[in-house]
């Protein structure tokens, strides 16, 4: 009985195994036939279908018209250049920002190592104190803040957005939900553990934001690449092309840059070109048709260069050509596979001015020589000059100190050379005198602020200027809260109007009245008394 059952069990197992083996063999045979068909019989077709294709409408820039004088002499023309472009082809997800930022940093390193520079038209810089600082103010600053925070108008800005500092803007743009410039401490909870700026220097952060912010301005226009660097060297082009597989979304495009002949003589007439602003973009794209534009213009983009002054601006729509376009197919690396439906661009119109360039140059040189002669005849080796009342302007004299100040302020004299190794004896003497003067000034100001309370009106004009600068600087840095000051306060009037108290007395009073933002001051402890804050 037991033996019979054992044989039945073995036969059952063997039958099932045989059945499964047959099924597996059939599936394997089908799979092999399918692989053979895909790879051998239809290999070329399969490869073509596998390659990722993305259809894109690509803009072909036009050439700006030339400018000539009345005799046909060339004054303004275009020269071939190479621009480094970036397009956001990264898929959305947790790693998108980190991968995009990593690529941009690699690109910036390549560009700067070859002596080229990225385009830096973001309205924040790092000042000499290694602090972020706005480069614009008033209405322009508010418009910039509205763009940063995604508001349609300045009036829609919230209070904290309208009063945002440069640091606030940087922190906002670096945030996890924006450009993600930083690191997450917990991979399982990346958003809540994200530390803004961690792993990046201030310089790297600002360069990244320069590129990312420019990209964001183009985000509403499909497949419009953003310029990272313009007119780069051929070495930069070669290295980027060699590393293209590791620089997803990066490309090199040919472009034309504006050049001027004898620009010193014609700059005031010809003007110059620059990157289009948002206001100019709206103006040109909504301009009605007329004889100059031929048709209504609607083909300006945020990367375009337009006339900013002179003839370049006045005849912008006449000089600016009409862009072409083409339909292209690219793979997942952004490489163009094929191109179809090409519409060639139309070059801008050339302009012939009524001026004679030779006559203009001659008139400029004669006028320059005449002015130089007048100036030289008026320069006197004196420190100051206060003309008597009623002296006609033609009799005014020019102190030699004013001449030197003008040369230094206009960067004609390189003051950095004064303390270089190859500075001459006169430069070394001037620099030594300057250093001694600076030491004395600082010591005097320190004495005034710590032990002596000389009323402002009793100071010399020079030191009044220094103390006024200190107050202005504290206001601009937000240390003194101008909005909190009671303008009718007697002590404030004594400083501002009567000038009967010292700077030290005024600052101490500001602290006692909570007119100081202590968060802008580096304090050793969280809770500090008035003396610690003043020091």
408-442 pLDDT, tens digit per residue, is 888 888 888 888 888 999 999 999 999 999 999 99
Q: How far apart are CA 535 and CA 528, in angstroms?
A: 11
Q: How far apart are CA 219 and CA 213, in angstroms?
A: 10
C-alpha dist (Å) from residue 341 to 87, 222, 297, 322, 325:
22, 18, 22, 17, 8
Q: What is the DSSP letter of 322?
A: B
The predicted model gives 266-288 an average pLDDT of: 86
pLDDT of residue 15: 64
Q: How far apart are CA 287 and CA 244, in angstroms?
A: 40
Q: Which residue has the tokens 């004669």?
A: 366
The predicted model gives 132-145 an average pLDDT of: 90
Contact 329, 52 (CB under 8 A): no
Residue 27 belongs to what H/E stretch?
A: helix 2-36
Range of weakest confidence among 2-11, 140-149, 178-187, 504-513: 2-11
Number of H helices, E strands in the chain: 19, 16
The predicted model gives 86-114 an average pLDDT of: 87
pLDDT of residue 89: 75
Largest CA distance in the chain: 143
Q: Whole-model pTM?
A: 0.59
Q: What is the band of 294 on the pLDDT scale with cuts at 50, 70, 90?
A: very low
250-268 pLDDT, tens per residue? 989 888 889 999 999 999 9
**Residues 6 or more apart from 68 whose CB is under 8 A from it?**
74, 75, 350, 351, 352, 353
**Residues 6 or more apart from 448 whose CB is under 8 A from it?**
454, 459, 463, 467, 502, 503, 504
Contact 273, 258 (CB under 8 A): yes
The predicted model gives 192-209 an average pLDDT of: 91
168-194 pLDDT, tens per residue? 999 999 999 899 999 988 888 888 889
Does residue 269 surpass a pLDDT of 70? Answer: yes
Token readout for 245 is: 């597989």
Q: How far apart are CA 288 and CA 363, in angstroms?
A: 40
pLDDT of residue 48: 56
pLDDT of residue 42: 67
Q: Which residue has the tokens 């958003």?
A: 191
Q: What is the dihedral of CA 235, 241, 243, 249, to 10 degrees?
A: 120
Tell me the CA end-to-end span of the chain in Å, nearest whole number: 106
Q: How far apart are CA 75 and CA 270, in angstroms?
A: 8
The predicted model gives 487-510 an average pLDDT of: 93
Does residue 51 surpass a pLDDT of 70? Answer: no
pLDDT of residue 438: 94
C-alpha dist (Å) from residue 362 to 356, 358, 365, 369, 372:
10, 6, 5, 11, 15
Q: Which residue has the tokens 């430069």?
A: 427
Token readout for 217 is: 């301005």
């Amino acid at each position: 009985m037991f033996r019979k059952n054992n044989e039945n069990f073995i036969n059952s197992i063997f039958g099932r195994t045989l059945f499964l083996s047959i099924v597996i063999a059939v599936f394997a045979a089908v799979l092999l036939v399918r692989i053979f068909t895909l790879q051998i019989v239809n290999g070329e077709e399969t490869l073509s279908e596998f390659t990722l294709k993305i259809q894109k409408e690509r803009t072909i820039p036009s050439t700006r018209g030339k400018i000539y004088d009345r005799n046909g002499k060339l004054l303004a023309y275009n020269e071939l250049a190479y621009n480094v472009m970036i397009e956001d082809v990264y898929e959305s997800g947790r790693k998108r920002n980190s991968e995009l930022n990593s690529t941009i940093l690699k690109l910036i390193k390549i560009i700067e190592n070859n002596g080229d520079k990225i385009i830096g038209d973001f309205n924040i810089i790092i000042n000499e104190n290694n602090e972020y600082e706005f480069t614009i103010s008033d209405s322009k600053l508010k418009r910039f803040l509205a763009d940063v925070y995604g508001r349609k108008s300045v009036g829609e800005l919230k209070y904290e957005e309208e009063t945002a500092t440069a640091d606030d803007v940087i922190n906002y743009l670096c945030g996890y939900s924006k450009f993600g410039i930083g690191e997450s401490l917990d991979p399982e909870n990346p958003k809540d553990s994200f530390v803004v700026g961690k792993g990046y220097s201030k310089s790297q952060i600002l360069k990244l934001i320069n590129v990312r912010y420019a990209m964001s301005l183009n985000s509403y226009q499909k497949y419009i690449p953003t310029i990272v660097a313009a007119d780069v060297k051929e070495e930069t082009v070669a290295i980027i092309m060699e590393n293209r597989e590791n620089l997803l979304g990066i490309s090199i495009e040919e472009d034309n840059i504006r050049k001027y002949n004898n620009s010193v003589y014609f700059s005031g007439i010809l003007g110059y070109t620059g990157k289009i602003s948002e206001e100019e973009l709206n103006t040109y794209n909504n301009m009605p048709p007329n004889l100059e534009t031929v048709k209504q213009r609607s083909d300006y983009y945020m990367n375009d260069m337009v006339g900013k002054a002179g003839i370049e601006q006045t005849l912008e729509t006449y000089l600016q050509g009409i862009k072409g376009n083409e339909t292209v197919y690219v793979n997942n690396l952004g490489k163009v596979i094929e191109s179809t439906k090409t519409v060639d661009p139309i070059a801008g119109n050339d302009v012939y001015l009524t001026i004679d360039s030779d006559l203009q140059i001659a008139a400029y040189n004669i006028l320059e020589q005449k002015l130089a002669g007048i100036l030289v005849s008026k320069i006197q080796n004196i420190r100051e000059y206060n003309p008597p009342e009623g002296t006609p302007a033609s009799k005014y004299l020019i102190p030699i100190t004013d001449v030197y100040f003008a040369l230094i302020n206009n960067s004609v004299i390189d003051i950095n050379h004064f303390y270089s190794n190859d500075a001459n004896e006169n430069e070394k003497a001037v620099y030594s005198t300057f250093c001694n003067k600076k030491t004395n000034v600082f010591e005097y100001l320190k004495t005034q602020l710590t032990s002596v309370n000389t009323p402002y009106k009793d100071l010399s004009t020079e030191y009044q200027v220094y103390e006024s600068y200190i107050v202005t600087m504290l206001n601009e840095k937000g240390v003194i809260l101008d909005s909190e000051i009671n303008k009718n306060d007697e002590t404030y009037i004594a400083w501002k109007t009567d000038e009967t108290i010292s700077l030290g007395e005024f600052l101490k009073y500001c602290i006692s009245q909570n007119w100081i933002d202590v968060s802008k001051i580096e304090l050793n402890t969280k809770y500090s008394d008035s003396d610690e804050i003043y020091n």
